[in-house]
Structure 1
Amino acid sequence: MENLKIINMADVESKKVEFLWYPYIPLGKLTIIQGDPGEGKTTAVLQLTALLTKGEKLPEDEQEREPINVIYQTAEDGLADTVKPRLEAAGADCSKVLVIDESEQGLCMSDERIEQAIKETGAKLVILDPIQAYLGANVDMHRANEIRPVMKRLGDIAEKYSCAIILIGHMNKASGSKSTYRGLGSIDFQATARSVLIVGRIKDDPTCRVIAHDKSSLAPEGDSIAFRLDKENGFAWEGVIDISVDDLLSGDQKVTKLTSAKEFLAKYLADGPKPSTEIFEAAEADGIKKRTLFTAKEKLNVTATKTGDKWYWGF
């Protein structure tokens, strides 16, 4: 019989959960990002990667951060013809994006090379895209008793090195089902992950995609965040959007807060420049935050001019 080990909670030192992107991606934990094929999951993750490699602010987050190393593994896209061009288009520091060589031996979640790579590179983010490709040949993704040990080991590695690990996954076609049951494979994927994000598109505005927080075990769920993705203009973050996960999956149309702010500002300035203080008051009355208003100002190329002791905004 093995020796029984008891942990007394009085001896456990409390510690605060740290986040790579609050409250969406916790450090030292597993995060799942899932959605239907072609919804922009990988593109959004590579855009986040680009910001992280340069130490720039993430969407709706004012945290100052240092550039980090990111390990990115993909079984679906070519490094030279797809991943590298996407990273370059996003403005990433490609010297900080690292890949474990799978040319001679494929990688799986239980592979010791993942821990070795984190240890050697000091990476603070590991991305496995998609989940299914990195389970391992002998793991049935529909069996909880096989999924739990693999996910636990990966989670232990994340915690040991205070590294965020993102698993990108596709969703099944069970339309109308709760989001929790639409992830491919065992529900234990979602149960083990500390954060689950859903990526989908607005039904009547197909270039508008949304990242919605489906599960958050370590912090309050974050606002849904929209991004624009089309062939002509490429990628652009759109800001907070008022839409739930269920509405997103059902295809309900919503308007982003940035769009509302742009419409407000365009209408308010239609008949000429207005004092900035007056604009701030009117925007606040409409429920528009000042940060969103300034973003709308930039998007619309509104100029600020000082006359006397007052600032005026106008086109």
Structure 2
Amino acid sequence: MQRRTPQQPGWMVELTAAIDIPVEKIQWIWQDWLPRAKLSILAGAGGCGKTTLAISIAARLSRGGDWPDGSKCEAAGNVIIWSGEDGIADTIIPRLTAADADLSRVHIIEGLRDQRGNRRQFDPAANFALLNEAAARIDGVSLLIFDPLINLIRGDMHRANEVRQGLQMVVDFAEQHCCSVLGISHLSKSASQSSVADRVIGSQAFSALARTVLVAGKANNSEARVLVRAKSNVSIDIGG
């Protein structure tokens, strides 16, 4: 029995010959590590320094400093940070200060406020669209940090369809503002997956949608921390 496809009057598929589509180069916040206009994930076990590293990246970008690999930050940029786990005044700001951030370029999401001055909590899954106006108000954003990333998912973080639906608005935001979105996540304790990128907590749709997955951890028998590329669809995927 032949299946019939429902027709949609007035609509047609738009096709463009590949030769008519101009090639665009990948733009970078941090060359080969943090691409612009893309979603990236920074994952690791608890206590390995994920948030400290993310704040360090924000600080270096805010002042146009050198990256950890010695490369130069080409231009300073604005940063927006949402944290659902750490206190702003007693943890985030002191860490930014310790990392020598330009605090005038780093903006913290503290909540929502209406025209009457009423305030309420910022819900990442429900209120994300309001960040478009916020980014325009500060003359653009180069880096948006969400800690943790799973708070952007309104439904079940283990269901691929719900994760993709929740993260699509993030992907669209990154493209629209040509900024990097860095989501902080944990790794599952299971070591059965062949790739460490597949251990990002929740559905594998998280690491599938992210163009880059970075993993932080402690070096063996040392207090030193390491940062490695677990996955990259836009550059090399080895090294650390």
Give yes or no for TM over 0.5: yes
Q: Hey, what does 1:85 align to over in structure 2?
A: 94
Deviation at 1:113, TM superposition (A): 1.5
Q: Hey, what does 1:63 align to over in structure 2?
A: 72
Structure 2 unaligned residues grouped into runs of 5+ = 1-7, 112-118
CA 1:109–1:24: 2 relative to 1, 3 Å: farther
What fraction of aligned residue pairs are identical, expressed as a percent? 33
Deviation at 1:183, TM superposition (A): 1.1
Give the Cα–Cα distance (whole angstroms) in 2 for the partners of residues 200 and 208 of structure 1.
Answer: 9
TM-score (norm 2): 0.87
Deviation at 1:106, TM superposition (A): 2.4
Taking the TM superposition and a 5 Å limit, the aligned residue runs for 1:138-149 are: 139-149=155-165
1:56-98 deviations in whole A, cap 9, x for unaligned? 1112243352221100100001100000011111111111110
Q: Hey, what does 1:133 align to over in structure 2?
A: 151
Give the Cα–Cα distance (whole angstroms) in 2 for the partners of residues 183 and 221 of structure 1.
Answer: 16
Taking the TM superposition and a 5 Å limit, the aligned residue runs for 1:105-116 are: 105-109=121-125, 111-116=128-133
What RMSD in Å do the two structures reach over aligned CA positions? Answer: 1.6
Q: Which has the higher contact order (CA 8 A, sep 6+)?
A: 2
Give the Cα–Cα distance (whole angstroms) in 2 for the partners of residues 222 and 177 of structure 1.
Answer: 18
Structure 1 unaligned residues grouped into runs of 5+ = 225-315
CA 1:191–1:125: 2 relative to 1, 3 Å: same
Letter in 1 for 2:173: I
Taking the TM superposition and a 5 Å limit, the aligned residue runs for 1:285-296 are: none
Native 8 Å contact 1:21 1:61 kept in 2 = no
Of Structure 1 and Structure 2, the greater helix share is in 1
Deviation at 1:100, TM superposition (A): 2.4
Letter in 2 for 1:182: R
1:88-123 deviations in whole A, cap 9, x for unaligned? 111111111102232613231462122222232211
Across the two proteins, how many residue pairs are aligned to each other?
221
Give the Cα–Cα distance (whole angstroms) in 2 for the partners of residues 219 and 180 of structure 1.
Answer: 15
Q: Hey, what does 1:312 align to over in structure 2?
A: none
Q: Hey, what does 1:34 align to over in structure 2?
A: 43
Letter in 1 for 2:201: L
Give the Cα–Cα distance (whole angstroms) in 2 for the partners of residues 64 and 166 of structure 1.
Answer: 17
Letter in 2 for 1:78: G
Q: Hey, what does 2:218 align to over in structure 1?
A: 201
* 2:31 counterpart of 1:13: no
Q: Hey, what does 1:223 align to over in structure 2?
A: 239
Deviation at 1:22, TM superposition (A): 1.3
Give the Cα–Cα distance (whole angstroms) in 1 for the partners of residues 35 and 66 of structure 2.
Answer: 16
Deviation at 1:222, TM superposition (A): 5.0
Give the Cα–Cα distance (whole angstroms) in 2 for the partners of residues 7 and 154 of structure 1.
Answer: 26
Letter in 1 for 2:148: P
Q: Hey, what does 2:116 align to over in structure 1?
A: none
Q: Hey, what does 2:141 align to over in structure 1?
A: 123
Give the Cα–Cα distance (whole angstroms) in 2 for the partners of residues 80 and 152 of structure 1.
Answer: 31
Q: Hey, what does 2:120 align to over in structure 1?
A: 104
Native 8 Å contact 2:84 2:148 kept in 1 = yes
**Consecutive aligned runs of 4 or more in structure 1 exceeding 6 Å deviation:** none
1:138-159 deviations in whole A, cap 9, x for unaligned? x110111111122222111101
